[in-house]
Structure 1
Amino acid sequence: MNPSAHSRRQFLRAAVALGGAGVLQACGSTAGSATPVQPRITPAVRRPASGNNVLRIFAASGYAEQANRIEIGLRRLYDAGFTITNQQAAYRRYQRFAGSDAERIADLQDVALGRVATPKVLMGLRGGYGAVRLLPHVDWASLGTRMREQGTLLFGFSDTTAIQMALLARGNMPSFAGPMLYSEFGKPQPSVYTMQSFIDSTTRSNNTIHVAEIQSRSVRAEGVLWGGNLSVLASLAGSPYMPDISGGILFLEDVGEQPYRIERMLQTLYMAGILGKQQAVVMGNFRMGTIRDVYDSSYNFNSVVNTMSRLAKVPVLTGFPFGHITNKTTFPLGAQARIEPMSGGGYSVAFGGYPTLDANTLTLNTLLPPPVLSDVFGGDTAATPEDRSDLE
């Protein structure tokens, strides 16, 4: 049950009396927002805020439809050791967005200008659309500087790619392709694979991801791995928010696009001179499902990959475990990576040189308590068409 306004004020007064910033900030509704559902955290179990455990929510794109999933995500991250700030961002709604442009800009600009302390983690709410509207209004250079000083990790994917690429291009700061508050942490039964990869990839200074899918050729490459959602990247071509990386490794994923649309966006990157400057292109999951070209069913995703590889003269690897899918890995964007072929025809990608989290508190048992673990291990973790959190 939501606390009354009076109870909320009592909660805040009690929190101040204990000395420290609120773990999960009480907040009122903004115009058009869903009524906030306060996680049931009492002042007695609050932990003091410190630079090493503060997680700030930013909501750059679509709004979260289910308040109960917000609460689940907040509770799960709190139990994993994080002090969560800017909670109200998760409940905002303006038109199709998670708040007005000004509100969504402030989620990041307040950090860039030092209006709020730089957190250890910047966690995206969800994907959708809207992040591109914020790009000209954030001081990315200042944000990148503050994040480097604090060793901040920013997480997101899908539409958040626009934020991540602007941060890399203008702020020279890497981020992480990984789970978001509503999309993964808010699921009643999150993927164990996704949660374990989140832990492994963020608590180790070096991490290697193995892809067993047999490739058409062996590839060795080393450079900055960058990229994200193909639709978003294509929309940034020619803008100051597209990173200019030569000799890199470009990662791409998308969802629900016709093969010709995928090729058209790749052609955009090719004609912009982006594909030809890369050592390799790594394709994640494109969630093609039953999508077929209406003119010729043989013109499929593999046809597009082969065409673009020949055109750009760049090797293309497929099967990397990330995209709009339930079981996704976590990995850095904008960090050094090395691709090596594996026996059996697969390949590995080793990452290094990125900020990390404290491995002492972030464990699978804190993210997924034993009852949840048993439920997930006993259930089907495959994504379904109805799970819109995987679609966006």
Structure 2
Amino acid sequence: MSSSALSSPNPLRLYLTACSGIVPAKQRQSALPRLTHAGFALENQHSLDRVYQRFAGTDAERLSDLHKLLDQPQWPQLIMAARGGYGAMRLLPKLDLARLGARLKESRSLLIGYSDFCAIQLALLAQTGAGSFAGPMLGDFGSASPSGYAINEFIAGISTPQRSLRIAGAQPQARGEGIFWGGNLSVISSLAGTPYLPDIKGGLLFLEDVGEQPYRVERMLQQLYLAGVLSKQKAIFLGDFSMQRHVDVYDPHYNFDAVVAELRRISGVPVFTGLPFGHIANKTTMPLGFPARFQGDGDGVTLQFLDYPTVDVSGVQIPALMAEHAV
């Protein structure tokens, strides 16, 4: 732990885990001092330096990040993924999900990440019912100028009970309640047919992705439809898909709107768009695997998250997290 973190009246223990791709040096060099000076006591930093092929270490090394937690009598308040990419799926058969899920629920620690890391989050939810948080990873704190919106959403998301999120714009008129779950569409579709995809009935499914053309997004949605996942949901929430960078070769009018229209047709449930989440700077932070309710009124939709663990952030210096250059 650094002296800066120790000087904080209520330092938050933040355990870092690198279960997927290599962590770029620039992200480490900016994010680590920024988090330290903000009052976080960082743990397991050596995991960020590992390199094996395209991964942040061998499978055994990446497995050890989470398994080492099982030997700790008191868990850190926060456990954060370093980055996405690919690799988490390879760990699922050897992860001690039963013990990890039990300790996660007992400790009420917050497991945070998105992208490729959601494979582990969804596996824990499927196998043990343990919830986590869809939110920023280490890399999000490593940009030259971090998003003020994302920082404020992160702090509010991990510390505010029964928090609400309003998404403006034309939306379906519908309301309901269920387990809020989901993540990266590519990862979720790859887990279909395995014991690591949660079987949520009456759920609120959220999806995001990046780097995929419209037809590939629709193909993955069709896979979830054919697997019976979509029709079980009470509503579907779409985050960012970065579709503005992808134009269909055969028909430029076959775009994200066309994909959404097809999703609405095949799912038969309300589909909401504009969720501020995904591979974007201005992302929110949301409980994953916990109850939530929604109300769409035509001019927008309100999400209210319920009954999830929170942490005390009184010792966090928020301006340090927003500093344009790491100190």
Structure 1 distance, partners of 2:38, 2:58, is 30
Residue 202 of structure 2 corresponds to residue 243 of structure 1: no
1:335-350 to 2 correspondence within 5 Å? 335-342=290-297, 345-350=299-304
State the alpha-carbon separation in 2 of the partners of residues 319 and 46 from structure 1: 36
The CA RMSD measured in Å over matched residues stands at 2.1
Identity %: 48
CA distance in 1, matches of 2:195, 2:310: 28
Match of 1:229 among 176, 184, 203: 184
Question: Which of residues 310, 313, 316 is equivalent to 1:359?
Answer: 313
Amino acid at match of 1:259: P
Distance 2:162 2:317 in 1: 17
Q: Of residues 183, 186, 196 in structure 1, which corresponds to 2:142?
A: 186
- Which of residues 68, 74, 82 in structure 1 aligns to 2:40? 82
- Report the CA distance between 1:116 and its aligned residue: 6.8
How far does the alpha carbon of each residue in 1:273-310 deviate from its partner, in whole angstroms, 9 at most, with x for none? 11000001000010011311111122111111111211
Residues 135-155 of structure 1 show CA distances to partners (whole Å, capped at 9, x for unaligned) of: 111111211111122111011
Cα contact 1:281–1:315 (8 A) shared by 2 = yes
The letter for the 2-side match of 1:362 is V
SS at match of 2:304: strand
Q: For the structure 1 residues 130 and 340, does the alpha-carbon distance in structure 2 shift closer, same or farther, using more than 3 Å as the test?
A: same
Q: Unpaired runs of 5+ in structure 1?
A: 1-22, 24-40, 376-392
Instruction: State how far apart, in whole Å, the 1-side matches of 2:21 and 2:8 are.
Output: 28
Residue matched to 2:152: 196
Deviations along 1:55-88, whole A, 9 cap, x unmatched?
Answer: 111101110122x431321222222322111110
- 1:103 to 1:168, Cα distance in 2 relative to 1, 3 A: same
Matched, 1:316 2:271: yes
Query: What is the match of residue 296 of structure 1?
Result: 251
CA distance in 2, matches of 1:199, 1:292: 36
Contact 2:47–2:56, Cα closer than 8 Å, also in 1? yes
Structure 1 letter corresponding to 2:158: T
User: Does structure 1 residue 53 correspond to structure 2 residue 12?
Assistant: yes
- Given the alignment of the two structures, is residue 141 of structure 1 paired with residue 95 of structure 2, yes or no? no
Verify: 1:107 aligned to 2:65, yes or no: yes
The one-character-per-residue Cα deviations of 1:96-143 (angstroms, maximum 9, x if unpaired) are 0001100000111222x3257422111100010000000111111211
Q: 1:199 touches 1:363 (CA, 8 Å); kept in 2?
A: no
- Contact kept, 8 Å, 2:11 with 2:39, in 1: the verdict is no
Does residue 231 of structure 2 align to residue 272 of structure 1?
no
DSSP 3-state at the match of 1:339: strand
SS of the aligned residue for 1:289 comes to helix
Q: What pairs up with 1:255-266 in 2 under 5 angstroms?
A: 255-266=210-221
- In the TM superposition, residue 52 of structure 1 has moved relative to its aligned partner by 7.3
The Cα shift of 1:159 comes to: 0.5
Aligned-partner SS, 1:273: coil
- Whether the 8 Å contact between 1:49 and 1:83 is mirrored in structure 2 is no
1:351-380 CA distances to partner (integer Å, 9 max, x unpaired)?
1211111131235224235xx49x9xxxxx
Residues 219-238 of structure 1 show CA distances to partners (whole Å, capped at 9, x for unaligned) of: 21211010000000000001
Structure 1 residue 200 displacement after superposition: 0.9
Question: Are 2:8 and 2:315, in contact at CA under 8 Å, matched by a contact in 1?
Answer: no
TM (norm. structure 1) is 0.79
Which structure has more relative contact order (CA 8 Å, sep 6+)? It is 2
Contact 1:205 1:352 survives alignment (8 Å) = yes
Larger Rg computed on CA atoms: 1
- The structure whose residues are more often strand, as a share, is 2
The residue that corresponds to 1:161 in the other structure is 118
Q: Note the residue ranges of structure 2 that are not aligned, 5 or more in a row.
A: none
What are the within-5 Å matches in structure 2 for residues 207-218 of structure 1? Answer: 207-215=163-171, 217-218=172-173
Contact 2:5 2:38 in 1 (8 A): no
**What is the number of equivalent residue pairs in this alignment?**
326
Q: Secondary structure at the match of 2:120?
A: helix
Q: Is 1:330 matched up with 2:285?
A: yes
245-254 or 286-295, which moves further after superposition?
Answer: 286-295
Quick one: which amino acid aligns to residue 55 of structure 2?
Answer: F
